[in-house]
Chains A and B, each alone.
Chain A
Amino acid sequence: MANKEKLIGVFVSALGIAAEVAESAVFKETPGWDSVGHVNLMNEIEEAFDVSLEPDDILDFKSFEIGKEILQKYGVEF
C-alpha cells in the first residue's frame, strides 16, 4: 500500500497532475504525460524506487496500472 501511495506521489510530482487522477493516468491521454513528461516520470520512478528500468520496460510503461506490473518485476510490492 505504501508503494502505491509512493507511485501516486511520483505521478503527481512528475506529471503535475492531481492525485485523484493518477491511478487512471495513461500516456498521451493524460495532460502532461507526453514524451517530456515520460522522461520526467521515468527519472523520478527510478529515483523513488531505487531501480534501473530496462529499455523495454520504459517503453511499455504506458499507464499507472501497467507501471505497477512492471515495478513488481523489480521487487516493488503493491
Chain B
Amino acid sequence: MAYFTINNIKISGVAACVPKRVEENVDLPFFADRVEAEKVITSTGIARKRVCEVGVTSSDLAVPAVERMLADLGWDASTVDCLFFVSMTRDYIAPQTACILQNRLGLRDDCFVMDLPLGCSGWVYGLSVVGSMMQTGQMRRGLLICAETNTKNRNPNDRAVRPLFGDAATVTALEYDATVKPMNFAFNVDGSGWKAVHMPYGGMRNPTTVESLKEVEVEPGIVRKGTDMVVNGMDVFSFAIKRPPMQLKELIAHYAIDLETVDYLLLHQANKFIDEKIRRSLKLPPEKVPYCMQDFGNVTNASIPLVMVTGIPDALRSQSNHCLACGFGVGLAWGSVEFYVENAKVSQLVEV
C-alpha cells in the first residue's frame, strides 16, 4: 500500500459541464421490454446519462467548466500555474490535450500542463499529483480537470456498458494555503487485472486495422469493434466489491480517522449495487454517501467531482466538510483520500 500525506493544498472550487442531451435507459433498444429495463435501472441505480454529440470531445466539455470555475473564483487565467487533464478520451494520441487546453484557456506559456490517462481512479490520483507539485508553494494555483466522453469509445450495442456510462467534464481548483489540514492518501494497483477494462486496438500493441473496425457479436447482447472499450463486467464487479472497501478501511486505520467525524464518503459512481456494498461495509448512513449516478451514470474519472457539484454543493459552499473519497477501476488501479473542503466555490452545473 502506498500511503502519503500532502500538506498546504486547499480545494477552492469545483465545477462541471455535461452535455444537454439525455439518454433514458428505459428507452434503450436492446432491453426485451420496459420491465427488463427497469430491473437494470433499479439494480444499477442509473436511470439516464448525458451523451455528447458527434464531434464533441472531453476537452470541449472541459473548457466551459473551467471558464465557469475561473469566473466564479475571480481568477484570471494568467494566474493559473499548472493544469492536469485526466482523461482516457483525449483529443488526439499526440499531442497531449493539456497543451491544446493551455492555448484554448489562455493560460501562460510557463504554465505546467500534463495529461494523465487515468480512468475511474483518476480524480484521486490526479489530486495527489497536483497536490504534490503545489505543496511547496512554488505553484500557487492549479486546475485538475477530469473529463471523459465514455459514449465515444463504448459500443452502443453492448448491453453490458451502454446503460452504465455517460459523458461529463469537471474541474477542481486547487490553491496553496499553509493553513489547511493535510490530505491523506492510499493507493493500490493490480496490473494483472488489466484486461478487466481495456481497449484492444488503437494503441501501439495492436494498431487500428480494417478488421479491428468491424463489429462482432462477442456474446448475446454484446457487440463490439476492436477499438471499443471492453468492460468485463464480472471482473470489474469482483474487484470493485472487494478491494476499494478494503483500501478505505486500511486508510481509516492507518491515519486513525474517526468515522464519526466524517461528513461525506464520495465514491466513484460505479453503480448503486457496488457503491451500496462499500457504504454498508463502512457502516455509514445513506445521507453521508451522496450519489449522482441516477442522472449521469458512471462518468469514470469525473464522477467524484460531479457528485460534489450535483450532490452536496450547499454543504461544500457553507461549512467545513471532512471527506473521504475512493476512485477505482481500469488498471486495475484504486485510490482513496481523506481531505477537507470548506467554503468552496461550487459552480452551477454547466450544460452545453
Interface residues of A (CB under 8 A from B): 13-14, 16, 31, 34-36, 38-40, 42-44, 52, 55-56, 58-59
Contact = CB atoms under 8 A, between A and B. Distances in A.
A52 B280 contact: yes
Given A44-B39, A59-B238, 15 more contacts: A34-B160, A34-B220, A35-B232, A35-B233, A35-B234, A36-B160, A36-B163, A39-B43, A39-B44, A43-B43, A44-B43, A52-B280, A55-B277, A58-B241, A59-B237
A55 B163 contact: no
Q: Label chain A's interface by main secondary structure.
A: helix
B32 interface: yes
Given A39-B43, A43-B43, A34 B221 contact: yes
Contact of A31 (B42, B43, B220, B277): B220
Contacts of A42: 43, 273
B53 interface: no
Interface in B238-268: 238, 241-242
A43 B277 CA distance: 11
B219 A14 contact: no
Contact of B238 (A31, A52, A55): A55
Contacts of B42: 40, 43
A14 B32 CA distance: 13
Interface in B22-54: 32, 35-36, 39-40, 42-44
A36 B46 CA distance: 12
B36 to A, nearest CB: 6
Contacts of A39: 40, 43-44, 237, 271, 273
A56 B237 CA distance: 11
B159 interface: yes
Contacts of B232: 35
Contact of B160 (A13, A35, A56): A35
A56 to B, nearest CB: 8
Q: Which 4 A-B pairs have the closest CB atoms?
A: A35-B233, A43-B43, A55-B241, A55-B242
Nearest to B241: A55
A25 to B, nearest CB: 15
A27 to B, nearest CB: 8
A35 B159 CA distance: 10
Nearest to B220: A31
Contacts of A31: 220
Contact of A38 (B163, B222, B234): B234
Given A16-B32, A43-B273, A55-B242, A38 B237 contact: yes
A40 B237 contact: no
22 contacts: A16-B32, A34-B160, A34-B220, A35-B160, A35-B232, A35-B233, A36-B159, A36-B163, A38-B233, A39-B44, A39-B237, A39-B273, A42-B43, A43-B42, A43-B273, A44-B43, A52-B280, A55-B238, A55-B242, A56-B242, A59-B237, A59-B238
Contacts of B39: 13-14, 40, 44
Contacts of B163: 36
A39 B42 CA distance: 10
Interface string B210-245: 000000000111100000000011100110011000
Contacts of A38: 233-234, 237
Nearest to A46: B273
Nearest to B33: A16
Contacts of B233: 34-36, 38
A64 to B, nearest CB: 18
A16 B37 CA distance: 11
Which of A40, A44, A52 has most chain B Cβ within 10 Å? A40
